[in-house]
């Protein structure tokens, strides 16, 4: 009787896979939100492409070390899965890191965080088109609420001002590529997670992205020198941005994606700009306004709607999936 009661309490106290996934994503979003304030501090010390190369190479080296320490054997991917991984590395690592570093060098951290975290819209569209999930009314309402909240944050959730010129417009256009690429990374990653651990998916995607970015080291003869002579504070920022954002963050996202639909996982990233604005306020002095409370409240309400819904799922591997 005592044992049965103990098992019941243990079962009641344990988190469901979806709840665990949502909490894991919350941690990732907090790290990514902090990273939006770390990147500008790095950009004061290095050129944008220096930052992109440094972050990616450090993250890839960390993943290689982890794989060796954990004694993960030779990767077992089919040819189609390698094609998918290369695409993930190109879109989710190489392009995202490069265009985000360039874009963030000309825009405040608050605006950058908002532009770069609008991927849930594209993820929902891509996942529906690929037959990976069915978007019910509750999810649609939550997505609309979160999107409106994001626009409120863009308009009234910041104190920083931006001068509209050609450089600013180009930076905005580059940052718009980030959510599109991340949405593609998400829907490509989801079917693979039914066959491979989250660590391996995050690791090999990052390693491939680092290989694709390696030519950047040779496009400027002074780039390696600037990185090597980075001061101690700069290396601390780089390590957080690499290991925190791109190792822990990527693994956490892949792990959460195992138990959530692509849209649910992407929707949670709407919390990133909320953390981003709060951290930018505390660290960089970018003052928030009432829009942060209103927009952030709408996003949190949307998160509650998503977390309490019963997802309408279809087979995680869409018809014609090249990973099969």
> What pLDDT score does 18 carry?
78
| DSSP-H helix ranges across 89-197 | 96-104, 109-116, 119-129, 137-156, 166-192
Residue-by-residue DSSP string for 261-302: -HHHHHHHTTHHHHHHHHHIIIII-----HHHHHHHHHHHHH
CA distance 159 to 157: 7
Q: Please, which residues have CB within 8 angstroms of residue 50's CB and are 6 or more apart in sequence?
A: 223, 226, 227
Which of 93, 17, 90 has the alpha carbon at shortest distance from 52?
Answer: 93
- pLDDT for residue 11: 42
Tokens of 60: 């890839």
**Are residues 128 and 189 in contact, defined by beta-carbon separation less than 8 angstroms?**
no
What tokens appear for 51 in the block? 């930052």
> Tens of pLDDT along the chain (324 residues)?
444 444 444 444 577 887 888 888 888 888 988 887 788 889 899 999 999 999 999 999 999 999 999 888 788 899 999 999 999 999 999 999 898 888 777 776 666 666 676 677 778 778 777 777 777 777 788 778 877 877 776 566 555 555 656 777 777 777 778 888 988 999 999 999 989 999 999 999 999 999 999 999 899 999 999 999 999 999 999 999 999 999 999 999 999 888 888 877 877 777 777 787 777 777 767 666 777 678 777 877 776 776 666 655 544 443 333 333
Name the phi and psi angles at 269, rounded to 5: -70, -10
What are 247's two structure tokens?
A: 């190792």
Task: Decide if 226 contacts 51 (C-beta within 8 A).
Answer: no
The DSSP secondary-structure symbol of 46 reads S
CA distance 255 to 20: 10
Euclidean distance between CA atoms 156 and 295, whole angstroms: 9
User: Is residue 133 classed as helix, strand or coil in its secondary structure?
Assistant: strand
Q: How far apart are CA 63 and CA 70, in angstroms?
A: 10
């Amino acid at each position: 009787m005592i044992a049965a009661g103990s098992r019941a309490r243990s079962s009641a106290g344990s988190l469901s896979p979806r709840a665990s996934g949502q909490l894991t994503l919350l941690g990732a979003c907090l790290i990514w939100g902090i990273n939006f304030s770390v990147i500008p501090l790095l950009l004061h010390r290095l050129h944008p492409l220096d930052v992109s190369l440094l972050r990616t190479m450090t993250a890839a080296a960390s993943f290689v070390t982890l794989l060796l320490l954990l004694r993960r054997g030779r990767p077992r991917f089919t040819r189609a899965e390698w094609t998918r991984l290369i695409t993930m590395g190109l879109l989710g690592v190489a392009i995202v890191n490069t265009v985000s570093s360039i874009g963030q060098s000309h825009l405040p951290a608050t605006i950058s965080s908002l532009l770069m975290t609008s991927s849930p819209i594209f993820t929902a569209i891509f996942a529906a088109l690929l037959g990976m999930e069915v978007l019910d009314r509750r999810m649609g309402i939550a997505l609309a609420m979160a999107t409106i909240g994001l626009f409120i944050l863009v308009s009234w959730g910041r104190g920083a001002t931006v001068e509209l010129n050609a450089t600013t417009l180009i930076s905005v256009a580059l940052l718009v590529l980030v959510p599109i690429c991340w949405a593609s990374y998400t829907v490509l990653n989801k079917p693979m997670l039914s066959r491979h651990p989250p660590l391996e998916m995050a690791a090999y995607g990052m390693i491939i992205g680092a290989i694709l970015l390696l030519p950047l080291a040779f496009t400027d003869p002074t780039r390696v020198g600037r990185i090597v002579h980075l001061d101690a504070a700069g290396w601390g920022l780089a390590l957080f941005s690499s290991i925190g954002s791109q190792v822990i963050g990527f693994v956490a996202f892949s792990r959460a994606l195992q138990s959530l639909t692509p849209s649910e996982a992407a929707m949670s990233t709407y919390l990133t700009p909320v953390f981003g604005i709060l951290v930018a306020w505390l660290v960089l002095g970018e003052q928030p306004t009432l829009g942060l409370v209103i927009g952030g409240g709408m996003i949190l309400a949307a998160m509650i709607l998503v977390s309490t819904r019963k997802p309408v799922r279809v087979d995680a591997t869409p018809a014609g999936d090249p990973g099969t």
